[in-house]
Amino acid sequence: MAIPLEARSLSLLRAGNSVLDDVSFTINAGEIFALLGGNGAGKSSTLLTFLGFLEPSNGDVLVNGSSVRNDIAAARSAIAYLPESASLYGHMTAYENLSYFLDLAGKPANREDIDAALDKVALAEEARTRRLQSYSKGMRQKTAIALALLRETPILLLDEPTSGLDPVAIDEFHDLVKALANNGQTILMVTHDVYGACQIADRVGLLRGGKLVGSFSAENGERIDTETVHAAFAERETA
Amino acid sequence: MFRHMTREIRFLAKDRGALFWLLLAFTLSVIAVSFGVTEVREQRETIAALIKEDASDRANALKGQEEWGSAAYYAFHFTYAPPSDFAFAAMGQRDSSPWKHRIRMLALEGQIHEADTRNANFGLVGRFDFAFLIASVAPLLLILLLYDLRAAERTSRRHDLLVATAGYSLAIWFPRAFVRIAALTILLLLPLWSAALIEGTSLTITLQASGIAMAALLIWWIIVEWVNRIDASPSILLTSLIGLWLALAIIVPAISKAVIETNNPVPDGGEILLLQRETVNGAWDLPKDATMKPFIAQHPELRDYAKIDGPWAWKWYYAFQQVGDQKVAPLAQQYRKARLERDRQADLAAFLSPTSFAERAFEKLAGTDTRAMIVYEDAVRGFHSELRAFYYPLMFPEAQYNPALLNNLPNYVPPS
Ligand SMILES: Nc1ncnc2c1ncn2[C@@H]1O[C@H](COP(=O)(O)OP(=O)(O)OP(=O)(O)O)[C@@H](O)[C@H]1O
Ligand SMILES: [Mg+2]
């Protein structure tokens, strides 16, 4: 089976500046990979490269074994993308937003499917027929997560998915992601949250200044050690 | 594609801003078309009333006349160019060139151009008719509907999610723009189609007009698409597009008009009138021969009757009227030619501005272009020479006055 996500010596320039420098990793089916890094480290840019919005200046990104630049549409259709500070349409309800985006993806869903997904992210039922402009940040984030779930794609790219969620919602979200991975979906998740990343990820990659400076794996069914990762993350100050 | 369209129709139905512009487009179209229909109705009523009065006025004027000369002097004839069944959509030159006259057998050119001195004046923008709406206002509405299609999604950080979800860019932006433009086009054309049905406009003309409207909007769509490729904020895009609109819809037409007019000076209609009046008035003091010689040069068949004895004769009076026409003929000819030349050059200049192009195309379909107005003038000239051809053989040989013969007076037939 083809490797769902792979970066091969990926380098990237944005506005003439080096944003990613020789980054390589592979993520296998059913794996959760957390990309950790400070502001401006290049995390979001990595996701955009997998989606074909940014073109590598060197190296390559592959989705399901084939280079993204060869068939951007195919790569995108295999991926559900949760953008950083996702914003759906404020003038539409959760139902309307989700049906619009699912139509757009060519995967129309019925009301029951949508309700099931909104149940999973615990969006209050009374809110579902309200316009998103009346939502809190966390409620909007939950709706966007529901969209990613409903896409039922083999791959999920999540950019700071827990931002705006309360601690209970974060725990629930972590359970949800684990369930998806158990189901065989491949997850690349970008986060600042060292603790959260270590909680659920099979592997954590540490990105600093566009370079992959560390990689931590869960060994023999144990969690990745938060202390170790945190220490590595904090080195940024001294580096 | 169908799936994309239905999705975007549903999306548009929730976009209040876009719905507002579409409703405005429909309202403006209803207003423009009703203005046009009302104006055309009024013109038709005026013509009908004047046709009715024409015969009775003439009968009154002819009553009690005892000479061919005085009969011709007092009898007015109503001439007119009726509005076409599509004139409601584009009043065109009918607003600035006369389309009706009351003429008699005196010197003609002055009578034709007299009306020039009281043009309707609508300032820079012109009459608010459908042609103006589709050529000048609709592009602005199209810009307002499309300018931030992409940019607004970018500023609300939705762009990447939309495109990533759709798979490729065209799957979202094309149907989104297309649905808006289709709605705009249909809402603009619906009132036109209704009025065309009421007015009995032929299907070919209605279809051609719809085609022109669509082509004009398509060109503006391409312009907007091209500008929207720039990765700029919505307000910068809007400013650039409004600038382009100003340039293409107002400035370029105004400049080409000014250039064409400077390069093709046209004598004022008033000049023709003045020269003719001077010639005709001057003839009173000239020896009779000075009038009769040039007259006979034009009418050799009347040579035998050209001798004027005595201080006054109707035939001498009408001869100097005709010489008045002969005298201004070069000026009138120049006037006519220069207007046609301006028109020809304006046709070429219209390729620089979709607005001018659409407006002129509509005027052509509506028969309200310069050419149509000149065709009408020529019809008046033709009728006037029929009048002369009727009276001269009676007047010059000084045939016995016989009012019964006046039943054979030529009838004015408007150009079709
Ligand atoms: N639109 C852009 N044009 C040019 N450069 C950009 C653009 N967006 C981001 N960058 C640059 O790319 C680099 C990486 O940005 P990126 O958004 O990938 O960081 P990040 O790791 O996601 O940061 P954060 O945690 O703040 O979201 C930064 O140096 C940033 O200045
Ligand atoms: Mg980021």
DSSP codes of every residue in B57-107: HHHHHHTT--SHHHHHHH--EEEE-PPPTTGGG--GGGGTS--EEEE-SS-
- Is beta strand A66-67 parallel, antiparallel or unpaired with respect to A58-63? antiparallel
Candidate from A4-8, B7-11, B143-147, B309-313 with smallest mean pLDDT: B309-313
Six-digit token string for A167: 């601690």
CB pair distance less than 8 Å for B7 and A76:
no
Interface of B with A (CB under 8 A): 3, 7, 10-11, 14-16, 156-158, 160-168, 171-172
Kindly indicate the confidence band of residue B295, based on its pLDDT and cuts at 50, 70 and 90. Answer: confident
Search chain A and give the residue with CA nearest B169.
A73
Question: Which long-range CB contacts under 8 A does A114-121 form with residues at least 24 apart?
Answer: A114/A146, A114/A150, A117/A146, A117/A147, A117/A149, A117/A150, A118/A94, A118/A142, A118/A143, A118/A146, A120/A146, A120/A149, A120/A176, A121/A145, A121/A146, A121/A149, A121/A169, A121/A172, A121/A173, A121/A176
3-state secondary structure of A156: strand
Q: Which residues contact B61 (CB under 8 A, 6 or more apart)?
A: B74, B75, B76
pLDDT at A224: 86
CA distance B5 to A233: 48
Band of residue B291 on the pLDDT scale cut at 50, 70, 90: confident
Residue A162: alpha-carbon gap to chain centroid: 10
For the residues A78-99, what does the mean pLDDT come to? 94
| pLDDT score at B270 | 78
Say how many Å lie between the CA of residue A40 and the centre of ligand 2. 7
- Predicted local confidence at residue B126, as pLDDT: 62
Question: How far is A70 from chain B, CA to nearest CA, in Å?
Answer: 13
Instruction: Determine contact: A239 vs chain B, CB below 8 A.
Output: no
State the pLDDT confidence band at B294, using cuts at 50, 70 and 90. Answer: confident
Contacts of A164 (CB under 8 A, 6+ apart): A136, A137, A138, A140, A141
Whole-angstrom distance, CA of residue B385 vs CA of residue A48: 81
Place of tokens 């970008």: A190
Burial A171-184 (b: 16+ CB within 10 A, else e): ebbbebbbebbeee
The strand pairing partners of A187, in sequence order, are: A32, A156
Q: What is the A205 CA–ligand 1 centroid distance (Å)?
A: 17
Task: Please tell me the predicted confidence (pLDDT) of residue A159.
Answer: 96
Position B115 confidence tier, pLDDT thresholds 50, 70, 90: low
Percent of chain A at pLDDT exceeding 70: 98
What H or E segment, with its residue span, contains residue A191?
Answer: strand A186-191
A46 CA → ligand 1 middle, Å: 10
More confident residue, B219 or B271: B219
Residue B122 scores a pLDDT above 70: no
In whole angstroms, give the CA distance from residue B384 to residue B382. 5
Locate A24 and state its tokens.
């390589």
For residue range B63-85, list pLDDT tens digits in order: 988 999 999 999 999 999 999 99
* Backbone angles phi and psi of A211, in degrees to 5: -115, 145
pLDDT band at B298 (very low <50, low <70, confident <90, very high): confident
- Type and span of the H or E element at B159: helix B159-166
What is the structure's pLDDT at A236? 57
Confidence of residue A22 (pLDDT cuts 50, 70, 90): very high
**Test site for ligand 1: of A45, A48, A157, most ligand atoms within 8 A of the Cβ:** A45
The ligand with the least distance to the CA atom of A39 is 1
Q: Is the pLDDT of residue A237 over 90?
A: no
pLDDT of residue B190: 98
Neighbouring-strand partners of residue A12: A20
- CA A229 to each of CA A136, B147, B203: distance values in angstroms, whole numbers, following the listed order: 32, 47, 77
The mean pLDDT of B388-411, rounded to a whole number, is: 90
- Identify whether the C-beta of residue A42 lies closer than 8 Å to the C-beta of residue A20: yes
Q: What Å distances lie between residue A63 and A52, A77, B253, B353, CA to CA?
A: 10, 10, 54, 48
Instruction: Please state, as a whole number, how many other Cβ atoms lie within 10 Å of the Cβ of residue B288.
Output: 19
What residues of chain B lie within 8 A of the CB of A92, using their CB? 14
Q: A95 touching B, CB under 8 A?
A: no
Backbone dihedral region of B266: left (phi > 0), alpha (psi from -120 to 50 degrees) or beta?
beta
- Confirm or reject contact between A104 and chain B (CB < 8 A): yes
The Cα–Cα gap between A115 and A134 comes to 19
**What residue has token string 């609709």?**
B138
pLDDT of residue B52: 93
Residue B142's region, left for phi above 0, alpha for psi from -120 to 50, else beta, is: alpha
Ligand 1 atom 25, closest CA: A39
Q: What is the pLDDT of residues A111-161, one digit of tens each?
A: 999 999 999 999 999 999 999 999 999 999 999 999 999 999 999 999 999
Q: What residues of chain A, 143 to 162, have a C-beta less than 8 Å from chain B? A: 151
Contact B32, B132 (CB under 8 A): yes
Tell me which of A12-16, A155-159, A214-218, B353-357 is least confident: A214-218
Query: How far is residue B109's CA from residue B321's CA, in Å, rounded to a whole number?
Result: 10
- For the record, the structure tokens of B63 come out as 């009553």
In terms of DSSP bridges, do strands A58-63 and A5-14 run parallel, antiparallel, or are they unpaired? Answer: antiparallel
CA A42–ligand 1 middle distance (angstroms): 6
Q: What's the pLDDT score for residue B118? A: 45
Among the listed residues B187, B141, B186, B193, the one whose alpha carbon sits nearest the alpha carbon of residue B37: B193
Interface test with B, best of A51, A53, A96, A104 (most B CBs within 10 A): A104
Residue B232 pLDDT = 85
Is the model's pLDDT at A219 over the cut of 50?
yes
User: Nearest bound ligand to CA A209?
Assistant: 1
In chain B, domain spans: 1-416
pLDDT at position B2: 84
Taking an 8 Å cut-off on Cβ atoms, the answer to whether B158 and A87 are in contact is yes
Residues of B in contact with A129 (CB under 8 A): none
| DSSP letter assigned to residue A66 | E
DSSP secondary structure letter of residue B313:
-
Average pLDDT over residues A43-55: 97
How much distance in Å is there from the Cα of A207 to the middle of ligand 2? Answer: 12
The answer to whether the Cβ–Cβ distance between B16 and A91 falls below 8 Å is: yes
CA neighbours closer than 13 Å in the CB half-sphere of residue B364 = 13
Query: Bridge partners of B216?
Result: none
**Domains (range + CATH), chain A:** 5-78+155-238 (3.40.50.300), 89-152 (no CATH)
